[in-house]
Chain A
Amino acid sequence: MKLESHLRARRDGGAKLLVPYVTGGLGAEWLDVVRAVCDAGADAVEIGIPFSDPVMDGPTIQEASQRALEGGATPSSIIAEAAKLDVDTPLAVMTYYNVVHHAGYRRFAASLIGAGIDGAIVPDLPLDELDGWGDAADAAGVETVLLAAPTTPDDRLAAICERSRGFVYGIALLGVTGARDEFGPAATRMGQRLKAVTDLPVLIGLGISSGAQAAAAAAAADGVIVGSALIARLLDGGGPDAAHALISELRKALDA
Chain B
Amino acid sequence: MAIARGTPVELGAPGPVPTDLGRFGEFGGRYVPETLVPALEELEEVFKVAWASDEFRAEFAGLLTNYAGRPTPVTECHRLSERLGVRVLLKREDLTHTGSHKINNVLGQALLTKRMGKQRVIAETGAGQHGVATATVAALFGLDCVVFMGAVDVERQALNVWRMRLLGAEVIPVESGSATLKDAINDALRDWVATVEYTHYCIGSVVGPHPYPWMVREFQRVVGDEAREQSREILGGADPDIVAACVGGGSNAIGTFAGFLDTDARLVGVEAAGLGLESGKHGASIDRGVPGVLHGSRSLYLQDEDGQIKEAHSISAGLDYPGVGPEHAALAASGRAEYHSATDDEALAGFQVLAETEGIVPALESAHAIGWLAREAGHAVPAGSTVLVTLSGRGDKDAAQVAERLGTKLP
Q: Which residues of A contact B (CB under 8 A)?
A: 51-58, 62, 66, 69, 74-76, 97-99, 101-103, 123-129, 146-153, 156, 160, 171, 174-176
- B32-40, B211-219, B236-244, B378-386: which lies at the A interface? B32-40
CB distance from B28 to the nearest CB of A (A): 11
Question: Is B9 on the interface with A (CB-CB < 8 A)?
Answer: no
CA of A147 to CA of B194, assembled, Å: 16
Question: Is B409 on the interface with A (CB-CB < 8 A)?
Answer: no
- State which of B32, B291, B308 has its C-beta within 8 Å of the C-beta of A124: B32
CA of A97 to CA of B33, assembled, Å: 11
Query: Is B193's CB under 8 angstroms from A175's CB?
Result: yes
CB distance from B69 to the nearest CB of A (A): 36
Contact (A176, B37) CB under 8 Å given A74-B306, A102-B307, A129-B21: no
Query: Is A129's CB under 8 angstroms from B308's CB?
Result: no
Contact (A151, B303) CB under 8 Å given A55-B190, A98-B309: no
- Binary contact readout B296-311 vs A (1 if CB under 8 angstroms, 0 otherwise): 1010010100111100
Query: Is B177's CB under 8 angstroms from A128's CB?
Result: no
CB distance from B312 to the nearest CB of A (A): 12
Q: Which residues of B contact A97 (CB under 8 A)?
A: 31, 293
CB distance from B330 to the nearest CB of A (A): 17
Q: Which residues of A contact B301 (CB under 8 A)?
A: 98
Query: Is A99's CB under 8 angstroms from B294's CB?
Result: no
CA of A98 to CA of B302, assembled, Å: 12
Query: Is A69's CB under 8 angstroms from B308's CB?
Result: yes
Closest 3 CB pairs of A and B: A102-B307, A175-B194, A149-B35
Give the one of A57, A103, A123, A151 with max B CB within 10 A.
A151
CA of A171 to CA of B308, assembled, Å: 26
CA of A153 to CA of B186, assembled, Å: 25
Contact (A124, B33) CB under 8 Å given A174-B193, A176-B193: yes
Closest to A153 in B: B38
Q: Which residues of B contact A129 (CB under 8 A)?
A: 21, 29-31
Contact (A152, B308) CB under 8 Å given A56-B193, A102-B292, A126-B30: no
B-side interface residues, number (CB < 8 Å): 38
Query: Is B307's CB under 8 angstroms from A160's CB?
Result: no
CA of A74 to CA of B303, assembled, Å: 13
Question: Is B189 on the interface with A (CB-CB < 8 A)?
Answer: yes
Q: Which residues of A contact B190 (CB under 8 A)?
A: 55-58, 176
Q: Which residues of B contact A (CB under 8 A)?
A: 21, 29-39, 176-177, 182-183, 186, 189-190, 193-197, 290-296, 298, 301, 303, 306-309
Contact (A124, B293) CB under 8 Å given A62-B176, A76-B306: yes
- What are 23 residue pairs bridging A and B, where the CB atoms are less than 8 Å apart in the complex? A53-B294, A53-B309, A55-B33, A62-B176, A69-B308, A76-B306, A98-B301, A98-B303, A101-B307, A102-B303, A123-B33, A126-B30, A126-B31, A127-B34, A128-B37, A129-B29, A149-B34, A150-B35, A151-B36, A152-B34, A174-B193, A174-B195, A175-B193
CA of A153 to CA of B41, assembled, Å: 12
CA of A125 to CA of B36, assembled, Å: 11
- State which of A58, A66, A152, A160 has its C-beta within 8 Å of the C-beta of B38: A152
Closest to A102 in B: B307
Q: Which residues of A contact B189 (CB under 8 A)?
A: 55
CB distance from B6 to the nearest CB of A (A): 44
Closest to A74 in B: B306
Query: Is B37's CB under 8 angstroms from A126's CB?
Result: yes
